[in-house]
Structure 1
Amino acid sequence: MKELLAAELAEPYMTVAADDDAASALRMMARYRLPALLVTDGIGQLSAVLPCSQLVRALLPRGASDAVDRFDERHAERWRPELAGQRVAQWLPGGIVPVPVVDHSGSALEAGEAMFRAKSPLVVVTRAGAGSCDVFNVITAEKLHAYLTEADRH
Structure 2
Amino acid sequence: MHAEDIAEEFPVVTMDSDALDAARMLAEHRLPGIVVTDASGKPFAVLPASQVVRFIIPQYVQDDPSLAGVLDESMADRAADKLGGKTVREVLPEHLTDVPAARADDTIIEVAASMARCRSPLIAVMKEGRLAGVITASRLLEAALRH
Aligned twin of 2:27: 30
Query: 1:4-54, CA deviations, whole angstroms, 9 ceiling, x for partnerless residues?
Result: 211111111111011111111111111111111211122322111111121
- Number of residue pairs matched? 144
Asked if 1:147 is matched to 2:146, the reply is: no
Asked if 1:104 is matched to 2:104, the reply is: yes
RMSD: 1.9
Find the residue that maps to 1:13 and give its secondary structure: coil
Of all paired residues, the percent bearing the same amino acid is 33
Find the residue that maps to 2:59 and give its secondary structure: coil
TM alignment of 1:3-82, pairs within 5 A: 4-72=1-69, 75-79=72-76, 80-81=78-79, 82=81
* Kept in 1: contact 2:23–2:49 (CA 8 A): no
Distance in 2 (CA, whole Å) between partners of 1:100 and 1:10 is: 14
Structure 2, gaps ≥5 residues long: none
TM alignment of 1:108-147, pairs within 5 A: 108-127=108-127, 129-131=128-130, 136-147=132-143
Given the two structures, how large is their TM-score scaled by the length of structure 1? 0.83
Query: 1:70-93, CA deviations, whole angstroms, 9 ceiling, x for partnerless residues?
Result: 312853542323222111111113
Structure 1, gaps ≥5 residues long: none
**Which residue identity is paired with 2:90?**
Q
Normalized per residue, the structure richer in helix is: 2
Structure-2 change in CA distance of 1:76 and 1:49 (3 Å):
farther
Find the residue that maps to 2:23 and give its secondary structure: helix
Distance in 1 (CA, whole Å) between partners of 2:9 and 2:55 is: 26
Find the residue that maps to 2:114 and give its secondary structure: helix
Given the two structures, how large is their TM-score scaled by the length of structure 2? 0.87
Distance in 2 (CA, whole Å) between partners of 1:70 and 1:99 is: 34
Structure-2 change in CA distance of 1:90 and 1:123 (3 Å):
same
